[in-house]
A and B are shown apart, each in its own frame.
Chain A
Amino acid sequence: MALENTDIQNQLTEKFGESVSNFQQEGDLFAFEMTADSNTAVLLFLKNSEELRFHFLTSMFTIHYPDAATDRQFAIVYLLHNWYENKRIKIKAFVNGKTPEIKTVANIFPCANWMERESYDFYGVDFKGHPQLKRILNMDEMISFPMRKEFPMEDSGRTDKDDRFFGRTTINL
């Protein structure tokens, strides 16, 4: 029997109550939100539950929403996959824009280690308890977090190339 969305939703709301919310089918992905401080508990439950068996972390990344309310400016997105039932889900956890921090899941899914380092490197999200939270693709001396929306892609002092004529601005809004 295939794993139904309602089963997932019922089991999660029964166990976590208010911490999980906003369940919906987005295209071919079943999506919901969880509070940032429940992320390890929810993911551990999804991974180890006999019925749900979301044992594979496909990907984990961050999205920046600078215009949202302060406590919802960064979304940490987890894509989980159950290979037994061939079911994908997406979980979003929103964190504070001033001091973004969330617990690490590298101990639950070892592959999250570098993904979290990447999120730290590009967005400055602090993953509490991560064994080796340092920059991964950028150089260690860098002080900014380049994937944040306020970080301009191109040097604003450049005069040889005027993007206004091509319908682009240096900051994509």
Chain B
Amino acid sequence: MAVSRAEIAVAAGARPRPGMWTAIARFARKKPLGAAGGVLMLVMLVTAIFAEVLQTHDPIATAAAATLAGPSADHWLGTDHLGRDIYSRIVHGARVSLVVGVASTLLGSVLGGIIGLLSGYVGGRTDMVTQRILDILQGLPLLVLALVMSAALGPAVHNVIIAISIPIIPRAARVIRSSVLSIREMQYVEAARSLGVRHLRIAFRHILPNTIGSFIVLCTAQLGSAILVEATLSYLGLGVPEPYPSWGRMLSVSAAEYAQKAPHLVLFPGIAISLAVFGSNLLGDALRDTLDPRLRGS
């Protein structure tokens, strides 16, 4: 192509779209809390990717000589009852938390999104029945549903991901459906229909891309609770199995037992969970206000 698209746009008198960095800078200025959340999530992502580089000890190596040691130069955040380095375990725990959190959020949101898209697009009786079924799923407390699911499926990482994603489906379907309902009535959809475009193609090619804003908002909002549910399941012994270091399980019975002697056992993993959930909630709120103002305050 001789002339690039940007050049055409400039020639047509349009201002070039602001670059990604300008957009991020504007977001940070308008939503300082959201930007702080974004930074927290970025730190978590980097930690999860470079866990092997950031660790100071093997996270699963036990050391009988150094059990329940307090924070020191060698063990920055101390050691647990088996002499494992808490700092290295938290670093690796970020990977488990993020993988389970992101995977379950995406799985639940994509499945829920497809259900919401079809239900909203088809409408009528199909929509009514789908909504009632979703009501049923949503009526159960998220944690109770995840608890029962993970107990039924057995302890394994992929089962925990499935167990957490199921309660997300009805919530995702709701959000996407409501945004499909308004897009469906737009003129360009009518235009596509009058051109004889098939229904499935309209739904997936013309409507779906326009729900992406709601989808991103939905995912960041659910990520926090997914991380929290993973921590809770692992705390109760129904989550990510050994030997993966999970923040939730670091807090389980063994930690409570030694809490008096070694409070760092309880403090640090809990702070890690709180910061991760805090970060994704802050980011989710700010993104919602920016991308989907209709949902403000919901």
Query: Does B bind A?
Result: no
Please list the residues of chain B having a beta carbon within 8 angstroms of any beta carbon in chain A.
none
